[in-house]
Amino acid sequence: MRLSVREFEALARDRLPRYAYDFFAGGADDEVTLRANENAFTRLSLVPRVLRGHRERDLGTTLLGARIAVPVVLSPTAFHRLAHPEGERATARAAAAAGTVMIASMASTVPVGDIAKAGGDDLVLWLQIYVQPDARITRELVGRAEDAGCRALVVTVDSPVFGRRERDHRNGFHDLPPGMYCENMRDLGGQRGVRDIEMVAGLSWDHVDELAAMTGLPIVLKGLMHPADAVTAVAHGVSGLVVSNHGGRQLDTAAATIDVLAGVASAVGVPVLVDGGIRRGTDVVKALALGAAAVGIGRPVLWGLAARGGEGVSEVLALLREEIDRALALTGCASVHEVTSDLVREARC
């Protein structure tokens, strides 16, 4: 029995080839932000309330109209078949069983339609997209998401260029192994899956407007860190935000996400999610206290998948669920909606 999410990382490290482990684990440049995301949670202390008489806790909440059982969604991560042969199909089954949202990556190694089928009717599926320089390709991806029954589009906005991950350069990891493909890019005129995905150097609010004009699906922007950008996003009609620094894989030395969350959440009236470094139930409660509607997890899902396939992802989600439930009980909260800002403060050394 695994007792913590971190134990899954150790299992994954033992099982994966070096290049795959490093691709999942690594961050940009000196990995300052990668470490900061996790460390920042240790600088926050919880200030529990007592004697409130709650016997049970309700961990459920609603996101963009969908009821979810835990305030933890699966952030989009690329290439799940590098972790396990079943790839995103296994992840989808685990997300559906846990009753939460899976944000499938545009760079998934299973097509979004097949991810939806694997998850079945219980899966709340959103598709993450990098806007493409050729609007026809973006439109085709949007159509594939709609056909698959996705309930939102998550547009990643922190990547006008790709972060430099030194581990990948050291390992010579620049493309998927034979037999794996960025399946959502299939038949869109490219040659090789990974290189077919392009970043748009001039990414701007015009791209957000263009995308909104292509679809009736709600649009969530992922990768915002600044309150001023959050306000502009809402003015452009977005339905939600994910405060994210891409798990420390884009701009190194960017602030830890938990440190900027409250500034963003207090600036806007749409649901704000946060991801980056969330490894414990107490991290989730701190994020809720600072204004998050829910949190996202990236690497923990990949560690579970690499360790034990879909069962491993389920175990990771169950561990977090149990930890959140205990943290709520110990902070005197009967539901995630009772987690208020007075329950968290900067730790004094």
Ligand X SMILES: CCCCCCC(=O)C(=O)O
Q: Does 246 bind ligand X (CB under 6 A)?
A: yes
Kind and range of the H or E run holding 315: helix 299-331
Closest CB 165 distance from ligand X, rounded Å: 7
Q: Which of 28, 74, 78, 288 binds ligand X (CB under 6 A)?
A: 78
Which is nearer to ligand FMN, 23 or 116 (by Cβ)? 23
Give the distance, in angstroms, between the CA of residue 61 and the centroid of all CA atoms in the same chain: 17
Closest CB 160 distance from ligand X, rounded Å: 13
Q: Does 81 bind ligand X (CB under 6 A)?
A: no
In the numeric block, which tokens belong to residue 290? 């600072």
Count of residues that interact with ligand X, criterion CB under 6 A: 6
Closest CB 24 distance from ligand FMN, rounded Å: 4
Residue 278 interaction partner, one of ligand X, ligand FMN, none, beta carbon < 5-8 Å per kind: ligand FMN
Rounded Cα gap, residues 251 and 235, in angstroms: 25
Which is nearer to ligand FMN, 17 or 120 (by Cβ)? 17
Q: Which 131-190 residues touch ligand X, going by CB under 6 A? A: none
Which is nearer to ligand FMN, 244 or 314 (by Cβ)? 244
Rounded Cα gap, residues 345 and 342, in angstroms: 7
Which is nearer to ligand X, 79 or 286 (by Cβ)? 79
Residue 239 interaction partner, one of ligand X, ligand FMN, none, beta carbon < 5-8 Å per kind: none
Q: Which of 107, 211, 256, 319 binds ligand X (CB under 6 A)?
A: 107
Contact 155, 208 (CB under 8 A): yes
Which residue pairs from 31-36 have beta carbons closer than 8 angstroms and sit at least 24 positions apart in sequence? 31/248, 31/252, 32/248, 32/252, 32/253, 33/245, 33/248, 33/251, 33/252, 33/253, 33/254, 33/255, 33/256, 34/247, 34/248, 34/249, 34/252, 35/248, 36/248, 36/255, 36/256, 36/277
Indicate the pairing of strand 124-129 with strand 101-104: parallel
Nearest residue to ligand FMN by CB is 298
- Has 93 been labeled as part of a binding site? no
> Closest Cα partner for 237 from 198, 210, 264?
210
Which residue pairs from 185-188 have beta carbons closer than 8 angstroms and sit at least 24 positions apart in sequence? 185/106, 186/111, 188/137, 188/140
- Has 128 been labeled as part of a binding site? yes
Q: Which of 11, 66, 188, 194 binds ligand X (CB under 6 A)?
A: 194
Q: List residues binding ligand FMN (CB under 6 A).
A: 23-24, 37, 75-78, 105, 107, 128, 156, 222, 244, 246-247, 249, 275-278, 297-299
Per DSSP, the three-state class of 313 is helix
DSSP string, 34-71: HHHHHHHHHTEEE-----------B--EEETTEEESSS
Q: Does 104 bind ligand X (CB under 6 A)?
A: no
Q: Active-site residue 207, yes or no?
A: no
Which is nearer to ligand FMN, 141 or 297 (by Cβ)? 297
- Has 130 been labeled as part of a binding site? yes
Closest CB 258 distance from ligand FMN, rounded Å: 11
Binding-site residues, in ranges, read: 76-78, 105, 128, 130, 156, 165, 222, 244, 246, 249, 275-279, 298-299
Active site residues: 246
